[in-house]
């Protein structure tokens, strides 16, 4: 699916969230990455095989 150079990490890679955004829907709270990963504003994920990943990334903090 990825047409970028260098290629984005696959959905199975540990750094899968580093893939580029294909489409963003901020009002709905989710974005589709070029590796078919859906990331949600609550920091959860949906893998291409339908498996849900619970929120696991730390929230950004402001100083």
> Rounded distance, CA 27 to CA 48, Å?
22
Alpha-carbon span 63 to 55, nearest angstrom: 23
Q: What is the pLDDT of residues 1-48, one digit of tens each?
A: 677 788 899 999 999 999 999 999 999 999 999 999 999 988 889 999
Cβ-contact 18, 11 below 8 angstroms? no
pLDDT tens across 47-61, in order? 999 999 988 766 555
Q: Distance between CA 22 and CA 16 in Å, rounded?
A: 14
Listed by start position, the domains of the chain span 1-56
**SS in 3 state form for 29-63?**
CEEEECCCCEEECCCCEECCCCCEECCCCCCCCCC
User: pTM for this structure?
Assistant: 0.80
């Amino acid at each position: 699916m990825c047409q970028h150079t260098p290629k984005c990490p696959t959905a199975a890679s540990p750094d899968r969230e580093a893939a580029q955004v294909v489409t963003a829907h901020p009002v709905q709270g989710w974005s589709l990455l070029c590796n078919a990963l859906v990331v949600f504003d609550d920091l959860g994920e949906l893998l291409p095989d339908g498996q849900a990943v619970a929120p696991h990334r730390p929230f950004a903090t402001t100083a």
